Chain A
Amino acid sequence: PGEGPVHDEL
């Protein structure tokens, strides 16, 4: 939490 979702696409 706090970090947010990680987006691995450009």
Chain B
Amino acid sequence: MNIFRLAGDMMHLFSIIVLLLKINATRSCRGVSLKTQELYAIVFVCRYLDLFTSFISLYNTTMKLIFLLSTFTIIYWMRFHKVIRVTYDREQDTFRYQFLILPCFLLALVLNNEFSAMEVLWTFSIYLEAVAILPQLVLLQRTNNIDNLTGNYVFLLGSYRALYILNWIYRFMTEPNYRQYLVWISGIVQTIVYIDFFYYYIRSWRNNEKLSLPA
């Protein structure tokens, strides 16, 4: 565990806490994409199947459980909570995510490190995570008034990805046999997806304006 990895994980954790707090405090999930949350649920379920087969550390297990539990909580609130579900932007959140899921799964069947159920599902989760934020970014683009917390949520998620790249560079330089090309390429793609958002986020912050993304 190096400082970049820890900082990245913490950003990921903070992003989820920000989202939970926002929805819970305002009783509203306005501007939050249910599709992105459901994609993350698929990502976490497929990736953390190893909770049942291998133990890495208490830290690792705890974080996995937090990510799973929090994502399912958000989905439950958005779908079933009496007050919150009414605030969901159903008509705006129309990204057809089956067009992300199917190609990612087919790619995982072809491009993987080992052709086993666990490893294919793990690889699928890596590919799917790279594009899981897209429905959220599209929804933000359609929302005129992005509230601070939703903006911060996406910014923290993007920071987590950027820090993971530094983590990989650090590990590559310090660990003799550390290589994971599929993860690196997907991670770089995932970070590139955020660049446009980062630009407008930082600009609105410097100019002290409300964040809005051009259509």
A: residues with CB less than 8 A from B are: 3-10
Contacts and interface: CB of A to CB of B under 8 A. Distances in A.
Task: Give the secondary structure class of A's interface.
Answer: loop
Contacts of B113: 5
27 contacts: A3-B53, A3-B54, A4-B114, A4-B116, A4-B118, A4-B119, A5-B113, A5-B114, A5-B119, A6-B50, A6-B54, A6-B56, A7-B47, A7-B50, A7-B122, A8-B56, A8-B60, A9-B5, A9-B164, A9-B167, A9-B183, A10-B9, A10-B12, A10-B60, A10-B63, A10-B64, A10-B67
B interface SS class: helix
Given A5-B113, A6-B50, 10 more contacts: A3-B53, A3-B54, A4-B114, A4-B116, A4-B118, A7-B50, A9-B5, A9-B167, A10-B64, A10-B67
B180 to A, nearest CB: 8
Contacts, number: 27
Nearest to B116: A4
Pick the 5 closest A-B CB pairs, nearest first: A4-B119, A8-B56, A4-B118, A4-B114, A10-B63
A3 B50 CA distance: 10
Contacts of A8: 56, 60
A4 to B, nearest CB: 5
Contacts of A6: 50, 54, 56
Nearest to B64: A10
Nearest to B50: A7
Contacts of B67: 10
Interface string B97-124: 0000000000000000110101100100
Contacts of B50: 6-7
B36 to A, nearest CB: 18
A3 B179 CA distance: 19
A7 B53 CA distance: 11
